[in-house]
Amino acid sequence: MCSFAPPCAGNCLHELPSSLSQLTSLQDLNLAGNRLSSLPSSLSCLSSLAKLSLHGNELRELPNDWAPLSKLKGLFLQGNCLEALPEGLGQLQVGDACVCAALAVCVDATLVPSQAQLT
């Protein structure tokens, strides 16, 4: 189990390093407050990921393949430029959370735990 997460939040990143996909035991990844406009498909290599914070970026789309991220329980997308969620995101098990206040196709807010409840 990997509790170390690289300090990626608030660094004005425009893209993610390719080496990030090698952290297959990573459980919590905070990429909030950067300038990411897209995510690499290699993000699906992070098969142990339980919480992914992407709020406050410039994301316009998400990768389609979310099936390998079956342990994902928290996905935080507020403050991005998303117009739709990929179909693959719907394959996550019931009880998983998607928080994206500006997106009309988002999960019912009554089912979504706050970020504090997931830590």
pLDDT: which is higher, 89 or 117: 89
Domain ranges of the chain: 1-119
- Which residues are CB-contacts of 15 (< 8 A; sequence separation ≥ 6)? 36, 40
Confidence class for position 1, pLDDT limits 50, 70, 90: very low
pLDDT tier for residue 117 given thresholds of 50, 70 and 90: very low
Helix (H) or strand (E) holding 74: strand 74-76
- CATH number of the domain at 1-119, please? 3.80.10.10
Mean pLDDT value of segment 39-56: 90
